[in-house]
Amino acid sequence: MDNISYNPLLEKWDTPFGTPPFNRFIISHFKPAIEEAIKLASAEIAAITGNQDEPVFENVIAALDCAGDKLGDIASVLFNLNSAETSSEVQAVTQEVSPLLARFSNDITLNKELFLKVKSVFDSREAAGFDREQMMLLEKNYRNFILGGADLDDEKKSRFREISEELAHLQIKFEENVLEDTNAFELHITDKNDLAGLPDGFIEMAKLDAKNRNKEGWVITLHAPSYIPFMKYSTNRSLKELLFKAYGSRAFHKDAHDNRELAARIANLRLEMANLLGFKNFAELALVDRMAETAEKAGTFLTELHSASKPAAIRDLEKVKNFAVEDGFSAELERWDWAYYSEKLQKAQFDIDDEVLKPYFVLGNAERGIFDLAETLYGIRFISNSNIPVYHPEVKTWEVRDGDGTFMAILYIDYFPRPGKNGGAWMTSFREQRVQDGKDTRPLISIVANFTRPTDTRPSLLTFNEVTTFLHEFGHSLHGMLTKCTYESLSGTSVARDFVELPSQFMENFAFEKEWLTSWARHYISGEIIPERLIDKIKASSTFNEGYACNRQLGFGFLDMSWHTITTPFINNLAEFELGALAKTELFPAVDGLNTSVSFTHIFGGGYAAGYYGYKWAEVLDADAFEYFKETGIFNKTTAASFRKNILEKGGTDKPMNLYKAFRGKEPSIEAFLKRSGLK
């Protein structure tokens, strides 16, 4: 059969729980499947606009929410593959279909007849007696049409189409360039003396990396499980400088993967789009439906938090500098020295580091511990199911069931780095939850990470940061799996960007709690439960260099807002622009040839444009929420039930502050955050 006459992506997915049929399709199926799915979705839109009945919620707003379900499911599979298991073939198809999808999206929001129907329902909303979820969906739809150019004249609509289609292409290309440069670099070590200071487990992993590349010796890469430990433990300063500069100069080499022009072009197109819609900059456009509401309010939040953290950041830096001198370091402390000496100071101050903790953090045990935590808090169960098709043999799958046995979701987890996988960790979905014709279609949720691989002699042993990362992404997955909404556009993590990090960052708090750690953290050789003295040290060191870390995170927030508050097209020197944006948070001299903007995939590739401040915004929420858990008991089922009911199940069915107050009984206070982070 040829690809056109038979396309498994277009068939009903006759797989366990309707999961994507990874074992049946090939990459060449995607483009014709998406083209056909666009036709089907367009027919659904035409049926809405052609309906002669009076425009009401069900035949316009609810019908719109259901339109294009098949298209969304197919596109989700493709874009997730492009992030987690890409290839030149996948990248080519993604580039080809992205403008098609942007064009289809524009066909909806720029459809005058459709907008008039939406507006008719919106204008009659006060007398219609909608419930809260219906009102939120109506408001979201109307806002999406306005922000999607529905009220523009024909000339501006045409330009809006061009911009959105070009952005769809450029943002994917931006991420591809970063991945290409990340994969292209390797530090090949052949002299064992160059491994001084590195832990045995790391050396074994580096040797395995070399073997996999058909090389003798050891290979260090820019992927986190390789890069971060090398910077922390290697005593070879010149190699750390080389590695640091390679990482910091990704997509900044004036070659085919250079992102300078792409970053400027993306920023300028976003500005032009915002101006077309009547906003002075892109941040004003992006923040319309966020908790912060305006760029000024987001900027004030960053500035106030910076004022609170900068003195602590300077103190942290001076402590590390003084320690380095005491340790015999005579040169000027540079950026590539920071990880090594701060790690060494932490070890000296608290007698703790990743190498002490990793033997207790076996990945398999952490997985079980996190699943058990979810069961304790929310009563859900995870049942391994190896019959679900996966996109790579390493991907693991589970059925997620509620306490009464009700099916809730499928969870995929993909733990380890590969050349075809983007860096970092994230939660995503292959299908969102929705209720249609009385049937609750449950979500397909995926966690993708880049954790330390097992070696021939050791299981995968996680760093403490990898444990908190696992908890973070699992928190996102709970938000996606436990959702109980009617409309897909509001379900799961479809919430304000500065609210979406609450469930994820909330889960990180358990990493510091004895009651949870002792339930699963056992030494991989002896089986010994993690000693209380180590847990005490984890808690005691939890604010170590927090001022420096907060200041650095705020720097990313300021850089993001600088790019998205420009009011005239960017024609400046990108490196100089970045220096200005980061000036208030910089604690080290600038290093020529390095640049953050060109590899800042969160804002130029992902969905955090004008929203990076949201990580810190949500920290205030999560610290306040966990303070409530500590007051009532961290495993208190009543408190957990309230968090599940009012936060995890509700998606975007109400305004974030209303949801938070329904859980907490009051608005959040910054006090818990300042106390937890040691800034007060």
Residue 51 pLDDT class (50, 70, 90 cuts) = very high
What CA–CA distances, in Å, run from 493 to 66, 210, 475, 504, 593?
Answer: 18, 40, 11, 11, 38
> Amino acid identity of 304?
E
Q: Are residues 83 and 117 in the same domain?
A: yes
Q: What is the mean pLDDT of residues 593-610?
A: 95
Q: Nearest-CA neighbor of 653 among 505, 408, 508, 479?
A: 479
Q: Are residues 606 and 619 in the same domain?
A: no
The CATH number for 596's domain is 1.10.1370.10
What whole-number distance in Å separates Cα of residue 610 and Cα of residue 562? Answer: 9
Q: Are residues 436 and 486 in the same domain?
A: yes
Q: Are residues 640 and 492 in the same domain?
A: yes
Asked if residue 166 is part of any domain, the answer here is: no
Q: Are residues 534 and 561 in the same domain?
A: no
Classified as helix, coil or strand, 412 is: strand
Percent of the chain topping pLDDT 90: 97
Which of the 8 DSSP states describes residue 433? -
pLDDT of residue 6: 86
pLDDT tens figures, 630-639? 999 999 999 9
pLDDT tens figures, 623-669? 999 999 999 999 999 999 999 999 999 999 999 999 999 999 999 99
What whole-number distance in Å separates Cα of residue 267 and Cα of residue 171? Answer: 11
pLDDT tens figures, 7-34? 999 999 999 999 999 999 999 999 999 9
The CATH number for 528's domain is 1.10.1370.40
The CATH number for 72's domain is 1.20.1050.40
Element (H, E) at 398: strand 396-401
Classified as helix, coil or strand, 628 is: helix
pLDDT of residue 607: 85
Q: Nearest-CA neighbor of 483 among 508, 500, 465?
A: 500
Residue 135 contacts residue 266 (beta carbons within 8 Å): no
Q: What is the mean pLDDT of residues 349-371?
A: 96
* pLDDT higher than 60, residue 542: yes
Beta strands in 108-258, from DSSP E residues, in sequence order: 187-189, 218-220
The per-residue b/e assignment along 456-480, b for 16 or more CB within 10 angstroms, e otherwise, is eebebbbbbebbbbbbbbbbbbbbb
Q: Are residues 369 and 473 in the same domain?
A: yes
Residue 3 pLDDT class (50, 70, 90 cuts) = very low
Q: Which two tokens stand for residue 331?
A: 């040169």
* Domain end residue (candidates: 562, 583, 612): 612
**Angle, helices 30-50/69-84, rounded to nearest 10 degrees:** 150
Supply the residues annotated as catalytic: 473
Percent of the chain topping pLDDT 70: 99
Q: Are residues 390 and 446 in the same domain?
A: yes
* Domain end residue (candidates: 194, 215, 248): 248
pLDDT of residue 200: 94
What whole-number distance in Å separates Cα of residue 282 and Cα of residue 274? Answer: 5
> Chain-centre distance of CA 102, in angstroms?
22
- State the average pLDDT for the chain: 96
Asked if residue 344 is part of any domain, the answer here is: yes
**C-alpha torsion angle, residues 555, 592, 232, 448 (rounded to 10):** 60
Q: What is the mean pLDDT of residues 127-132?
A: 94
* pLDDT higher than 70, residue 2: no
Asked if residue 174 is part of any domain, the answer here is: no
Q: Are residues 596 and 503 in the same domain?
A: no
Asked if residue 628 is part of any domain, the answer here is: yes
Asked if residue 7 is part of any domain, the answer here is: no
* pLDDT higher than 70, residue 67: yes
pLDDT of residue 680: 74
What CA–CA distances, in Å, run from 598 to 119, 171, 247, 571, 603?
Answer: 40, 12, 11, 15, 10
pLDDT tens figures, 387-413? 999 999 999 999 999 999 999 999 999
> Amino acid identity of 115?
F
**Could you list the residue range(s) of the whole structural domain that residue 274 is in?**
260-352+546-612
Which of the 8 DSSP states describes residue 410? E
What whole-number distance in Å separates Cα of residue 282 and Cα of residue 129? Answer: 35
Q: Are residues 517 and 480 in the same domain?
A: yes
Residue 304: exposure state from Cβ atoms within 10 A (0-12, 13-18, ≥19): exposed
Residue 632 contacts residue 286 (beta carbons within 8 Å): no
* pLDDT higher than 80, residue 5: no
Residue 490: exposure state from Cβ atoms within 10 A (0-12, 13-18, ≥19): buried
The per-residue b/e assignment along 213-230, b for 16 or more CB within 10 angstroms, e otherwise, is eeeeebbbbbbbbbbbbb
The domain tally of the chain equals 4
Asked if residue 11 is part of any domain, the answer here is: no
Let me know the angle formed at the C-alpha of 185 by 184 and 188, rounded to the nearest 5 degrees.
130
Phi, psi of 500 (to 5 degrees): -65, -25
- Strand duo 407-414 + 396-401: pairing: antiparallel
pLDDT of residue 359: 97
pLDDT of residue 512: 97
pLDDT of residue 679: 83
Q: Are residues 480 and 468 in the same domain?
A: yes
pLDDT of residue 1: 36
pLDDT tens figures, 156-205? 999 999 999 999 999 999 999 999 999 999 999 999 999 999 999 999 99
* pLDDT higher than 80, residue 69: yes
pLDDT tens figures, 522-541? 999 999 999 999 999 999 99
Q: Are residues 582 and 441 in the same domain?
A: no
* Order of all β-strands in the sheet with 381-384: 381-384, 396-401, 407-414, 444-448, 426-431
Residue 338 pLDDT class (50, 70, 90 cuts) = very high
Q: Are residues 425 and 528 in the same domain?
A: yes
* pLDDT higher than 90, residue 473: yes
* Domain end residue (candidates: 228, 248, 268): 248
Asked if residue 378 is part of any domain, the answer here is: yes
* pLDDT higher than 70, residue 124: yes
Asked if residue 132 is part of any domain, the answer here is: yes
